[in-house]
Structure 1
Amino acid sequence: MTRQIFQLKVTLAEVLPEVWRRVELPGAYTLDRVHKVIQHAMGWQNYHLHSFEVDGVQYGDPDPDGELAVRDEIDVRLDAVAHKGTRLLYTYDFGDWWEHDVLVEDAFVAEPDQRYPRCVAGERACPPEDVGGAFGYAELLVALHEADHPQHDELRSWVGSGFAPDAFDPARATTLLRRLT
C-alpha cells in the first residue's frame, strides 16, 4: 500500500519578515500529530494550548467541562479534512495568540527511501515563547537590533545570546521531527 504524503507550508501570521516552514508528513497523521510536527518544525516548546480550524470546525484537546465545541483532534486524520489547496488555521498559545496559516501545497506518493515527517525549507527563527504575541515580538526585534534601546541588554539576556532572528536550519528541524517516528 502506498502512503500519501502532504506537503504543508506553515506561515506565522502577523509577523514580518515572515517566519515559515515547509514540511512533508503522512496524510494519515491525526491532527494531534500534525500539531507536534508544527511545534517541532517551528521551534515552539509545546508549553501552551492549541487548536485547529478547518472549514469552520474547531479541533483540539477536548474541553473536560464540555463548554467549548471542539472536536477531539486525536480522532481526525489530516487526509480526512484536507486535500491539496486546503487552508487550515492553527492557533498556538491562547494568551500570545500565535496564528499559523497552514496551506496544503501538495499531496504525493511517499518516496520509498525517504523518512517522514521532514522539514524541507523555511525562513527565520521562531519567536521565543511568552514574548507577547506578534506585537511583543516586533518590539523584541527592535530592542535587539538597536544597541542603545533602553531594553536591549535586558531582552538580549532574556532570549539568550544564541537567539538569531534570521537563522533557521531545516536539517535541525528534521532531526527534531525524527522524535515523532
Structure 2
Amino acid sequence: MTLREIHGVLQVVMGWEGIHLYQFVIHTARYGSWETGARSPAIALADLKLRKGSRFLYEYDLNIPWEHEVRLEERQPFKPGAYFPACTGGDGTCPQEDCGGPEAWMWRQDNAFGYETMDDLETTTEFLQEAAETKSLAVLDDPDRAEELRGSLERLKERASWLGEHFERRKTNERLQQNEHLNLMHQQM
C-alpha cells in the first residue's frame, strides 16, 4: 500500500472527502500533496522500511492542520480471500471536515449544550406544551411565535451537528470494500 492509498484510507475512516492538502512526515522527509513541495506519496509503505512500533505524522488541511500520529502496530501476512484494507477497531466521534480545525472542534464540543441550547429547548418545550394542551397547532398562526420556534429548531439542529458523526467500524469497512479510499486518494495529489 502506498502513502497515497493510506491518505485515502484515513479520509474514509474520518468521514472526510479529501478536499484539502495533506502530507506525511516520516524520518524527517515529507510526502504528500505536490502543492506543498513534498515528495510523491506514491511510495510504498514497505519501501520506507518501517519497523513494528514506528510512528509518523499525517497532517491534513494544512491551513488549520489536523495532526494524526500513525503507528505501525503489526504486519499481517496476506490471507487469500481476506479484504484489505480493513478497520479492526475505533471509537468516538469524528469531526466535520471543515469545522475550523482542532481548536474550533473542541470549542463546539464544549458549547454544544451551553446556555443558548437550554433556552432553545425551553422555547421548543413551551410550544409543544401549548400544542398538547390546546390539541391544536394554532400557535403557529402567530408569525412571531412561529419564527421564534423556527429559529430555535434551526439553532438546535446546528448545535447537534457540532457533535460530529459517531465512528462506526462496520460503515467504515463497507466504504473501504467499495474502494472509496481509492477515489479519495486522488483528490489532492
| Fold match (TM-score > 0.5) | yes
Q: What secondary structure, in the 3-state scheme, does the structure 2 residue paired with 1:36 have?
A: helix
1:60 aligns with 2:32: yes
Per the alignment, in what secondary structure is the counterpart of residue 38 of structure 1? helix
Aligned to 1:172: 171
Q: Structure 1, residues 66-103: CA drift from partner, whole Å, max 9, x if none?
A: xx5411112x1011112311111000001220000000
Q: Could you say which structure has the higher strand fraction?
A: 1
In structure 2, the CA distance between the partners of 1:90 and 1:116, relative to structure 1 (3 Å rule), is same
| Alignment root-mean-square deviation, CA | 2.6
Match of 1:131 in 2: 99
- Offset at 1:148? 3.0
Higher relative contact order (CA 8 A, sep 6+): 2
Q: What does residue 23 of structure 2 align with? A: 51
Structure showing greater Rg: 2
Q: Which has the higher helix share?
A: 2
TM-score (norm 1): 0.71
Contact 2:94 2:166 in 1 (8 A): no
Contact kept in structure 2, 1:128 and 1:159, CA below 8 Å: no
The structure-2 alpha-carbon separation of the partners of 1:59 and 1:126, relative to structure 1 and needing over 3 Å to count, comes to same
Q: Does structure 1 conserve the Cα–Cα contact (< 8 Å) formed by 2:23 and 2:32?
A: yes
SS at match of 1:121: coil
Aligned to 2:81: 113
In the alignment, which residue of structure 2 is the partner of 1:104?
Answer: 72
Gaps of 5+ in 2: 121-151, 183-189
Q: Is the 8 A contact 2:25 2:31 kept in 1?
A: yes
- Matched position secondary structure for 2:8: helix
Q: Compute the displacement of 1:55 (Å).
A: 0.6
CA distance in structure 2 between the aligned counterparts of 1:140 and 1:115, rounded to whole angstroms: 37
Number of residue equivalences: 147
Is the CA contact 2:20–2:61 (under 8 Å) kept in the aligned structure 1? yes
Q: Unaligned 5+ residue runs, structure 1?
A: 1-28
Following the alignment from structure 2 to structure 1, what is the Cα–Cα distance between the partners of residues 67 and 169? 21
- In 1, Cα distance between the equivalents of 2:75 and 2:155? 42
Residue identity over aligned pairs, in percent, reads: 28
Counterpart of 2:2? 30
